[in-house]
Amino acid sequence: MAGPRAPAYTEYKEIRVEIIPLEARYEELYCSCLEDWSREMREAGAGDLKRRWLERNKARGLRVLLARDEDGAIVGMIQYAPIEYAPIEYAPVEYERERAPVHGADLYYIYCIWVHGHDQGVGNRQGRGIGTRLLVAAETDVRDLGAKGMVAWGLRIPVFMRSRWFKKHGYRRVDTDGIMELLWKRFSVDAVPPRLGRLRRCPDTAPGVVTVTCLRNGWCPSVNLTAERMKRVAREFAERVNYVEIDTDNRRSFEEWGASDQIFIDGTPLRAGPPRTYEQLRKQVARRVRALR
């Protein structure tokens, strides 16, 4: 995948980073969100799921940039694609059937931007301007491609992908859903603002069993991790739990549901947040199983 025309070095608090396009030798690291040291990533097989997603989406215009420091360590990443092919994340608030899952054209959508923030591996590199450097490089890249704007999702709580951070970089809110905000930066006066999608279909349930429905796009190893754990929980309860998985990287399925990544237990969505542990998921399912008549 091609990136900006030429990488450049910039000083940020004594850290020099080079912004480069994704290369084959870094794909395994990218598919583990730079956490190749993580046992959880290996537990989920998240890298394999992400790799399959990567191969499918290269042809759809997926772009990936990496931040590489002077020692050759990859310390940050950003991934983005034409909004026509990208999912809009769903923060569960209510079911709405009248709205299409994605509204947007001639724009690029940021799946995520991530600077390594753990003590393990290469260590915590956050708070040193690397994220800004990645964002600016991605914006330059899509401008060169003729895009009319860049779109990002952000959260109003102090966790990953904070909407406040994007606002500091000139992004403006155009839609909200619970704790989630859709933000964009306009590059052209004729650009049309995008809108968030809403869930369009409620999962089916059945009497006498607990129905677990998993919508999974495959792009996010963190979501993959929760989904793999839930699948293990469902197998443990055998015939008491009906596990249904929907591949929302399939555009038809995504448009049918209006959401890309979400897990439901008897039609009730799990709240957004960090990956659930196996024990947490098992406890939720076991409570439903005990309530069966």
Q: What is the pLDDT of residue 256?
A: 85
What pLDDT shows up at residue 92?
A: 36
DSSP 220-236: -HHHHHHHHHHHHHHHH
Supply the pLDDT for residue 99.
Answer: 36
- Please tell me which of 43-47, 88-92, 177-181, 241-245 the model is most confident about, judged by mean pLDDT: 241-245
pLDDT for the residue numbered 104 = 60
pLDDT digits (tens, 9 = 90+) for 170-217: 999 999 888 889 999 999 999 988 888 777 888 999 999 999 999 988
274 against 132, higher pLDDT:
132
Flag whether pLDDT at 271 surpasses 70.
yes
**Across all residues in the chain, what is the average pLDDT?**
85
For residues 285-292, give the mean pLDDT.
94
Query: pLDDT (tens digit, 9 = 90+) per residue, 142-159?
Result: 999 999 999 999 988 887
Region 256-270 average pLDDT: 88
Residue 44 has pLDDT above 60, yes or no: no
The pLDDT score that the predictor gives to residue 48 is 75
Q: pLDDT value at position 160?
A: 82
Share of the chain above pLDDT 70, in %: 86
Q: Do the Cβ atoms of 77 and 62 come closer than 8 Å?
A: no
Task: Report the chain's terminal Cα–Cα distance, integer Å.
Answer: 54
Q: What is the pLDDT of residue 157?
A: 83
How far apart CA 75 and CA 67 sit, in angstroms, is 6
**pLDDT level of residue 5 (50, 70, 90 thresholds):** very low
Please give the pLDDT value at position 14: 54
> Which domains are present in the chain?
9-186 (3.40.630.30), 210-290 (3.40.30.10)
Q: What is the DSSP string of the chain?
A: ----SS--EEEETTEEEEEEE--GGGHHHHHTTT-TT-HHHHHHTHHHHHHHHHHHHHTTT-EEEEEEETTS-EEEEEEEEETTTS------S---SSS-S-B-SS-EEEEEEEE---SSTT---TTSSHHHHHHHHHHHHHHHTT-SEEEEEEESSSSSSBHHHHHHTT-EEEEEETTEEEEEEESSTTPPPPB------PPP--TTSEEEEEEE-S--HHHHHHHHHHHHHHHHTGGGEEEEEEETTSHHHHHHHT-SSEEEETTEEPPSSSPPPHHHHHHHHHHHHHT--
Q: What is the pLDDT of residues 80-135, one digit of tens each?
A: 999 887 765 433 333 333 333 444 678 999 999 999 988 998 999 998 899 999 99
Note the pLDDT of residue 273. Answer: 67
